[in-house]
A and B are shown apart, each in its own frame.
Chain A
């Protein structure tokens, strides 16, 4: 894989890079409650970019992405509880579990197209919950909790998820700007035509799906570290899958900037309204309405719409 030259970076890449560097620089100085908000934002951004890899780039809608996140979290809790791993090693273990799982699930489910893929991933996620409920090593349905020796380490958590997100965005850029990107785009527009042109569709899809599982597993690990454990019904909440999907739909599927904008647009209001219970429900209703409107009338999301109607943005946003 040839890396793109630094000279070819557009304003979007510099913008995201500057945003991340500013965050990293200011993290030790900002108050803890703000830092936890930022950690949550970065975890969700990682999840949104992870779903973007498969759903945004290939058009395969996955409703079951929560399975990688949940089992990544369980992997971290299991690693720390049983082998006394350092939390960062636990996150790495979560990533490995996520990738292995995505490879296994992808080999089978990526054969199905459109609705069938969406349903198959949903069904696998639900079945995984029912299986985890019965596994003794994973808490027998009660969940796994981190030992109190781990404690609350916001800065360590922040830099772990920061590094993961930075790598993920970098990989997304490299993939979309190289040979693989052309292959994925052709699969998205017409998979049969792509295959006749000699693109190994099965291999490419499996590659991005595994990558996507890797990052979702890592994000799930940090999430479990943040809430000190994984309990089945909270970890496997299908609402997580749906929130990831809402983020990339609102931000703009398949773009480099979209998932980040979508995360900010969905996550920040949800945290602000969380303090007022009545508004919490209303906020979710508004997100649902926005998703409907965007899906039906502005399929490009925020980024796609800006590119379409403001010509000056076309060269800047990607």
Chain B
């Protein structure tokens, strides 16, 4: 009986963790889906958001949930800057993203990630910091779940659902989806491709940095300049699992990964092997269902 309770608790924790993974990957998913660009510096923007939440906590006593809107606003600005700095030259006047342009953006954003990691290490040193915030836990019989994780999971699903509503119900959202499907046709109906691509990228960064702030709830200690080296690959795997450009894909991929890591740890008995399995799941998925788990 105790084993069943342990299993269920781990499963629930895995689902909660999966939600925050999902929102962290969701920003990458949007940019990948709209602009067909993979941002290698994705992890570094998560790191910047986490530091943003940390400094807001130190200076003004904000808890991580309060710093989400601030980080999201910074993300919007960063996204517009990123689009015009890195993507505009490659996307301008093109009808689709070629393999050559893909390599250019891959290498350029990789350079950006080098700059950001080292700038963070120079400014904030490699010391690990964290935000001491825990709103207690929800206890029900043998089950015990952290309340902070529950709030974060709720907000994460809300953010993903909101982005879905925005993309499917508003004019601007529909324009973004049209752009991601067929650029020349978008131009024919009078939509400016540059404007739409910039908005889409900004939205992706906004969600990425909001996710970075939410992630700090799970990291009472663990905010450091190199943290992107773990969360960027996790986001890549999640997006590929769910299928790039599919809005519910990030949630499906995130939950899958969260459950594999938590429940896998219970069965294999080692966290690092659980992580290895979670990463390697990508290979069979790419081989068998390259378009992602979702149809």
Contacts and interface: CB of A to CB of B under 8 A. Distances in A.
B74 interface: no
Interface stretch (A43-51, A158-166, A221-229, A282-290): A282-290
B122 interface: yes
Interface stretch (B102-110, B137-145, B154-162, B178-186): B102-110
A126 B273 contact: no
Residue of A59, A127, A134, A242 with highest tally of chain B CB at under 10 A: A127
Contacts of A119: 38, 233, 236-237, 240, 282
Nearest to A60: B103
Could you say which interface size class chain A belongs to? 35 or more
Contact of A114 (B103, B116, B290): B103
Interface stretch (A14-22, A171-179, A291-299): A291-299
A85 interface: no
Interface stretch (A95-103, A105-113, A143-151): A105-113
Contact of A295 (B111, B118, B272): B111
B1 interface: no
Interface in B242-273: 270, 272-273
Contacts of A299: 104
Contacts of A134: 270, 272-273
A114 B36 CA distance: 12
Contacts of B287: 108, 111
B272 A133 contact: yes
Contacts of A282: 118, 122
B276 interface: yes
A115 interface: yes
Given A123-B236, A133-B272, A291 B104 contact: no
Nearest to A117: B286
Nearest to B90: A296
Interface of B: 38, 40, 86, 89, 99-100, 102-104, 106-108, 110-119, 121-122, 229, 233, 236-237, 240, 270, 272-273, 275-276, 279-280, 282-283, 286-287, 290
User: Which 10 residue pairs across A and B have the least CB separation, nearest first?
Assistant: A291-B111, A288-B114, A288-B115, A281-B122, A292-B111, A130-B276, A295-B108, A284-B118, A295-B107, A130-B272
